Amino acid sequence: MKVVVYVTPKKNVLDPQGAAVGHALESLGMADLRNVRVGKMIEIEVDGEPGPEFSKSVEKYCHELLSNPVIEDYRWELVPS
């Protein structure tokens, strides 16, 4: 199994990297662009089937290590490897 974590800047946080990508896309001809947000995706492969405490552990790792909860949001999903 694989845990895929998506971390993105909060909506009210300035995203200079997203703005730069947005300007570059516009210069390449993308006309209908409204907004670009740049984040990160983290894949974590795990052995075996997740137990009953698995979700709680993943939430802890996301909140305490993989994201900065002050300026970032996260979501995660469990997918087959």
CATH at 14: 3.30.1280.10
Range of the domain at 31: 2-79
- What's the pLDDT tens digit per position in 16-72? 999 999 999 999 999 999 999 999 999 999 998 888 899 999 999 999 999 999 999
Burial of 6 per CB tally in 10 Å (0-12, 13-18, 19+): middle
Full-model pTM: 0.87
Q: Round to whole Å and give the CA distance between 43 and 36.
A: 22
Q: Round to whole Å and give the CA distance between 31 and 54.
A: 43
Residue 81 reports pLDDT greater than 90: no
Number of domain units in the chain: 1
